[in-house]
Amino acid sequence: MNTDPDTVFFVDDDTVLCELLGEFLSNEGFDVKFSHSGQDALNQLDAVGYAYDVMILDIMMPEMSGFDVLQRVRRSSQIPIIMLTGRGDDVDKIVGLEMGADDYLGKPCNPRELSARLKALLRRTKHNPEQVAATAPLANEISLHNITLNKGTLEVSLNGQKLSLTSAEFNLLQLLMQSAGQMLTKSELTERVLQRKLSAYDRSIDVHISRIRQKLIASGGAGEIIKSIRGVGYQMLAESHEHN
């Protein structure tokens, strides 16, 4: 059994904050690596082949912002990313999610909440070898609306063409496909996919749904197979309703 600690790549130009949060996360069992500029972060990622388990990325950095780094990273990797945003800046949160971040946390952040978010993100992005081995191969695969999702390999394809999804998008699509024909509330989706409570004005699920729809359409699929239930939640249409 692999007992190596999960590696967190912490990118923030605030060295004091990095030291304080890094010490806390180390005590929580994480192996924390640091970078204090966008370009240095990209250089480090290239040097290790993106071989970190999760990334914390601050938005407000000089020369190269966190958004710029996120955009560059997403060209090469789906490494799980938590963005650090201004506490009340909802625009930054939404933009970060739209660009491919998995989650966000406002600054200044509570170290315990950051640790909890990291652990939740890792739980939904890393394989559980024992669980996968105990599951029959066919049970790992879901097919609906010409979409094939493999829970064992964490791959999704549409009409045989691979879709590149973040961890949050993958888990959200999986839950919708497994619950086809059933309406799921945003509160339920937030708890089951992001593993946290839905808070006021939290549009994370809405943004992730929007990105999934865009990727389906871009690959020749139909975005309308995911139906919005205004003010309540979302539903993936059952197969028989695809052409209605």
Domain ranges of the chain: 7-125, 129-241
Closest by Cα among 5, 17, 14 to 37: 14
pLDDT in tens, 65-124: 999 999 999 988 989 999 998 766 778 888 899 999 999 998 888 999 999 999 988 887
130 CB neighbour count, 10 Å cutoff: 9
What is the three-state SS of the chain?
CCCCCCEEEEECCCHHHHHHHHHHHHHCCCEEEEECCHHHHHHHHHHHCCCCCEEEEECCCCCCCHHHHHHHHHCCCCCCEEEEEECCCHHHHHHHHHCCCCEEEEECCCHHHHHHHHHHHHHHHCCCHHHHHCCCHHHHEEEECCEEEECCCCEEEECCEEECCCHHHHHHHHHHHHCCCCCEEHHHHHHHHHCCCCCCCCCHHHHHHHHHHHHHHHCCCCHHHEEEECCCEEEECCHHHCCC
What average pLDDT is seen over the chain? 87
**Average of pLDDT values for 214-226?**
89
As given in the structure block, the two tokens for residue 68 are: 């710029």
pLDDT value, residue 76 = 87
List the 147-150 sheet strands across, edge first: 141-144, 147-150, 155-158, 161-163
CATH number of the domain located at residue range(s) 129-241 in this protein: 1.10.10.10
Place of tokens 């003010």: 231
**Average of pLDDT values for 7-22?**
95
Taking the C-alpha atoms of residue 18 and residue 37, their distance in angstroms, rounded to an integer, is 12
**Average of pLDDT values for 46-53?**
92
Global model pTM greater than 0.95: no
CATH number of the domain located at residue range(s) 7-125 in this protein: 3.40.50.2300
Taking the C-alpha atoms of residue 117 and residue 110, their distance in angstroms, rounded to an integer, is 11
Taking the C-alpha atoms of residue 125 and residue 6, their distance in angstroms, rounded to an integer, is 12
pLDDT at 137 over 50: no
List, in sequence order, every residue forming a beta bridge with 26; answer none if it has no partner: none
pLDDT value, residue 240 = 63
Closest by Cα among 71, 130, 21 to 10: 21
pLDDT in tens, 182-216: 999 999 999 998 888 888 888 899 999 999 999 99
